[in-house]
Amino acid sequence: MSALDFLVELGTEELPPKALNTLAEAFLAGIDKGLQAAGLNYETKTVYAAPRRLAVLITALATQQPDRSINLDGPPRQAAFDAEGNPTQAALGFAKKCGVELSEIDQSGPKLRYSQSIAGKPTASLLPTIVEDSLNDLPIPKRMRWGARKEEFVRPTQWLVMLLGDQVIDCTILAQKAGRDSRGHRFHHPESVRIGSPSSYLADLRAAYVLADANERRDIISKRTEELATRQEGTAIVPPALLDEVTALVEWPVPLVCSFEERFLDVPQEALITTMQDNQKYFCLLDADGKLLPRFITVANIESKDPQQIIAGNEKVVRPRLTDAEFFFKQDKKQKLEDFNQRLQNVVFQEKLGSVYDKAERVSRLAAFIAQRIGGNAAWAARAGLLSKCDLATEMVGEFPEMQGVAGYYYALNDGEPEDVALALNEQYMPRGAGAELPSTLTGAAVAIADKLDTLVGIFGIGMLPTGSKDPYALRRAALGVLRILIEKQLDLDLTDAVAFAVDAFGAKVKAAGLNDSVLEFIFDRLRARYEDEGVDVATYLSVRALKPGSALDFDQRVQAVEAFRKLPEAAALAAVNKRVSNLLSKVEGSVPTVVEAKYFDNANEFSLYSAIQQADQAVQPMAASRQYSESLARLAALREPVDAFFEAVMVNAEDAKVRANRYALLARLRGLFLGVADISLLG
């Protein structure tokens, strides 16, 4: 079967840069879906995207759809005809469904059957519908109309190229009649560009100053930016999202170095970087020490004969934005950071939970409580907590919301606050996302945990629990943040005590009944997903959760120990024994006996198990005290042999009540050893 290359290019006004990659991938996926549905084979597929165009190139596309046959089974013969041989509604309905008369249906088999051969269509006749369907299915939140036309798209369309081999596909899509003429660069080559063939698409546009391949433009921008930064003895900050956005803004990228006055470097560099990246799409430069250089890189969309004019224009545009940041910074420093708390007394945190200042006071007390228990400075934690929300009322954060915490850090240093206190004002928001940076100081960790626990307790306390689709206060992220800080920074904090302290701080504002348990359950439930992501079996998590340890660090240490235990050859048998013992003890009427008396032993295997339990108990007690859980379980694994021997030779439910009670007590001692780490009966 013959095959030809296929090219479709839709030309538009400038497409939204942040959505360009998504639109391009969806366009390609839609065409691929249409070709597969039609049974059309091809070799490769490639998508191209630039500010004014979306294009897809399909190589070696079959020029003819293969013939197809369809076979449809209908109702059984006895259901299709009545006793007199007249067709029933079932038979007539089947014929109608097939779009034929009943006489054309095969009635010779046990069921009615309709078979039809469908001749394949020329690919050229199928492509318009495939392309149009793909464009209609693009993820466009809001479509627009232009002029008096009824057609809708993300931006007004301007031209359409559709070529199968050297031939133009005759069709009209989105008000554009297909042809072979594309458009070049708006300024370098405003004339139309004739596309000779699908395979010459990139070269034809390159000659017209358009790099249609987004990957090529991205590489040029990235490499050239790095080269220019090196010449300036600096390193460029190139966030992937910003690089993608800049790539989607230009057809012919030309990076250029610009500069700004050094006096602006007195402003927190985070504010300068934020405004240059977000508003101007510039790449900022840092020196070897990570300090901002008074230079930046802009990416022009034109190869100018006088690039200095472009540079001067960008320098002129950025100056007012940097001046604004400088003004806000100076204005804020005219008063102490703590004074901004007065404004926060009138800012509502949550209607039922009081003001943002109320929250800061609660966080201050809770942070001090936490700091004492994790080896931090309680006074610094209390101070940082009190100042934690002050910068929300500053001019700087009002203009640059991304500066919350960062602005507080600079203002606290300006006021002479201790370095740890200043750092904590930014670290309170850490981690800012999955896998993001954690607080570097104990003061920051204390405030971060306190802030998150205060929110969790408060929102739970007024009954605003998150649902599957709604979590407006980001409670899941807060809980995960608390867990990450405690586990990854190896901080041993009993969350039971911390949550209880947080509940007391709210007083009558929350419904305290059952609040501690619901918050703790919510927090520790987040560990389940964390461990599943790490490949830890859910049974391991449940075995530790059954003991309800209050420390996240302790919880994690037990989980790691159980995971190591499960790899031992004795693990499965001991888990099964623990399950058996658990079932036996659960059926004991009244309380389980606790005292083991050797005088009631009447079997050598009882003496052996008792001796082994006593030796194991002495060995694992110091291990448990120092949380050497892995070593403890490894030592307990040695109990398998005497345990197996015991159950083979001893009837636990003896007729003599005292003997039976003694054996229960022995098994309770055995189970208690394992419960010092986890309920391994849940591993079976």
Q: Which residue has the higher pLDDT, 494 or 86?
A: 494
Q: Average pLDDT for residues 241-252, to the nearest whole number?
A: 97
Q: Average pLDDT for residues 244-254, to the nearest whole number?
A: 97
pTM value is 0.80
Token pair of 680 as six digits = 């391994």
Domains and CATH numbers, the chain: 3-65+122-206 (3.30.70.260), 68-118 (no CATH), 214-332 (no CATH), 338-535 (1.10.3210), 566-683 (1.10.730)
% pLDDT > 70, the chain: 100
User: What pLDDT score was predicted for residue 26?
Assistant: 97
Q: CA triplet 290, 294, 295: central angle to 5 degrees? A: 95
User: What pLDDT score was predicted for residue 600?
Assistant: 84
User: What pLDDT score was predicted for residue 204?
Assistant: 97
Amino acid identity for residue 609 in this structure: L
Distance of CA 452 to the CA centre of its chain: 19
Q: CA–CA separation, 318 vs 97, rounded Å?
A: 68
Q: Average pLDDT for residues 88-96, to the nearest whole number?
A: 88
Q: Which residue has the tokens 């050229």?
A: 124
Task: Give the least confident one: 49-53, 102-106, 616-620.
Answer: 102-106
Q: Average pLDDT for residues 409-438, to the nearest whole number?
A: 95
Which of 67-81, 378-392, 592-606 is most confident? 378-392
**Cα separation values, 72 from 97, 116, 616, Å:** 10, 9, 71
- Contact status, residue 342 vs residue 356, Cβ threshold 8 Å: no
| Residue spans of alpha helices (H) in 182-213 | 201-206
Q: Average pLDDT for residues 32-52, to the nearest whole number?
A: 95
CA-nearest of 204, 195, 187, 157 to 254 is 187
Residues 36-48, buried b or exposed e (16+ Cβ, 10 A)? eebebebeebebb
Q: CA–CA separation, 157 vs 183, rounded Å?
A: 12
Q: CA–CA separation, 59 vs 44, rounded Å?
A: 5
Q: Average pLDDT for residues 204-223, to the nearest whole number?
A: 97
Q: CA–CA separation, 594 vs 607, rounded Å?
A: 17
Token pair of 134 as six digits = 């793909």
Q: What's the DSSP call for residue 501?
A: H
Tell me: the pLDDT tens digits for 468-509? 778 889 999 999 999 999 999 999 999 999 999 999 999 999
Residues 73-105, buried b or exposed e (16+ Cβ, 10 A)? ebbeeeebbeeeeebeeebeebbeebeeeeeeb
Q: CA–CA separation, 441 vs 425, rounded Å?
A: 11
Q: Indicate the average pLDDT of the chain.
A: 93
Q: CA–CA separation, 171 vs 169, rounded Å?
A: 6
Tell me: the pLDDT tens digits for 340-396? 999 999 999 999 999 999 999 999 999 999 999 999 999 999 999 999 999 999 999
Task: Give the least confident one: 181-185, 383-387, 407-411, 621-625.
Answer: 621-625
User: What pLDDT score was predicted for residue 648?
Assistant: 85
Q: Average pLDDT for residues 246-270, to the nearest whole number?
A: 96
- Decide if pLDDT at 593 tops 80: no
Tell me: the pLDDT tens digits for 502-538? 999 999 999 989 999 999 999 999 999 889 989 999 9
User: What pLDDT score was predicted for residue 499?
Assistant: 97
User: What pLDDT score was predicted for residue 44?
Assistant: 96
User: Per-residue confidence at 659, pLDDT binned at 50, 70, 90?
Assistant: confident
User: What pLDDT score was predicted for residue 684?
Assistant: 65
Task: Give the least confident one: 4-18, 85-99, 182-196.
Answer: 85-99
- Decide if pLDDT at 413 tops 90: yes
Tell me: the pLDDT tens digits for 319-339? 999 999 999 999 999 999 999
- Decide if pLDDT at 1 tops 80: no
SS3 6: strand
